[in-house]
Structure 1
């Protein structure tokens, strides 16, 4: 599929929806076409699994990483380097922001919302039918309120990890489109491992830290 992206791309969604895998995959796809790409690890809530863990691998793929000041430690204080501000101001740079889950994880980005809204951007929300939380709709609305940003694109990221079959992906497409319709958000597409690329999906990167 021909991916759509903007200079600023935010990845949002409840815990378990697969934000980090999608954010890294999106950054890699953008890096195939653009020279200056930065992945911002803005997950200030979950200190145990974040993009900081594979910084050298990202750099090998020409992607700069900016992460919370305390990433890789057992501290969990919402703090991020001033590098984010300079990246947002760099009109020649493409940015993917991997945000924390739920409204608590979305709140820190709100401080940058006014500037983000002033520039071309996309805000993706992820959906995984096989890890769907009961209050998914309300949590998406809470993420929008706390981030002070409108979600623009809906991503069907339904999977069961490496055990996922094409039938399971196919069965998730209609429910995902219905959920996007309920939210009034543009349906962007469906993700899957590269082995399903012939089905016109967005390929997720396979990496030990992600699966």
Structure 2
């Protein structure tokens, strides 16, 4: 999915960044990579990658989280192991560091503290979009959010990831409607569309309808089947 040793996942609140980051980390570990995931969401106490530490640990994925992650105490405390983890990911082939950034420009502020180290070597930054998410249903709005994230994080996105979904109501129609939207966002920002996510049970139907393919490195129309790990408290 990525050739860079450092992968940042960013986007608007509620687009599904954390679930995507979990899939990327777990899939990379399944391919034999030594994976670390950094939970940098110090704003939202819910829907954090560190909430799934048991799942990640079982798959051999190391988790680095803010001091107060998993509690109702939120603050700017960040683990002192993040900078070394970035450097270690680049020190040897076969390693991947996935950074699950907080939403919008507010969440990206924490990422900015590590921008110099991230930018010092190869990295990729996926900007996750979801046509179904409020406030970013227009491509121009999604572009505005990205520019705010880049300004606060002091990093630039390298690709767009289409994660259009409606949670349990996601079907091939929902996914298909999100593709032109994501393509337009990518065109406006001058970046490639890395892939479109699709629930694993719907991958075949979407591929048949849109003449797309399932290979994760297959270009702008590639589909990336994802498992749904992150669920709302009422699910």
TM-score by length of 1: 0.93
Q: Is the counterpart of residue 161 in structure 1 residue 140 in structure 2?
A: no
Name the counterpart of 1:117: 119
Q: Give the distance between the partners of 1:142 and 1:18, measured in 2 at CA.
A: 18
Say if 2:14 is the partner of 1:13: no
Q: How many residues align?
A: 209
Give the conservation status (yes or no) of the 8 Å contact 2:6–2:96: yes
List per-residue Cα deviations over 1:150-172 (Å, max 9, x = no partner).
00010110001121111221121
**In structure 2, what is the Cα distance between the partners aligned to 1:132 and 1:121?**
29
Give the one of 114, 126, 129 matched to 2:128.
126
Residue 177 (str. 1) matches residue 183 (str. 2): yes
| TM-score using structure 2 length | 0.84
What is the CA deviation profile of residues 82-139 of structure 1, one whole-angstrom value per residue up to 9, with x for unaligned ones?
1212211112331000000011100111121111111111000111001141533211
Give distance in 1, aligned partners of 2:194 and 2:33.
24
Question: Which shifted more, 107-116 or 7-16?
Answer: 107-116
Alpha-carbon distance, 1:37 to partner: 0.3
Question: For 2:230 and 2:3, how far apart are their aligned partners in 1?
Answer: 26
**Partner of residue 211, structure 2:** none
Distance in 2 of aligned mates of 1:60 and 1:171: 36
The answer to whether 1:145 aligns with 2:151 is: yes
Higher RCO, Cα 8 Å, sep 6+: 1
Q: How does 1:59-70 map to 2 (within 5 A)?
A: 59-70=57-68
Q: CA RMSD for the aligned pairs?
A: 1.6
The corresponding residue for 1:72 is 70
Alignment-derived partner of residue 99 in structure 1: 101
Q: Which residue is equivalent to 1:50?
A: 48
Report the secondary structure of 2:135's partner residue: coil
Query: 2: distance between equivalents of 1:208 and 1:156?
Result: 17
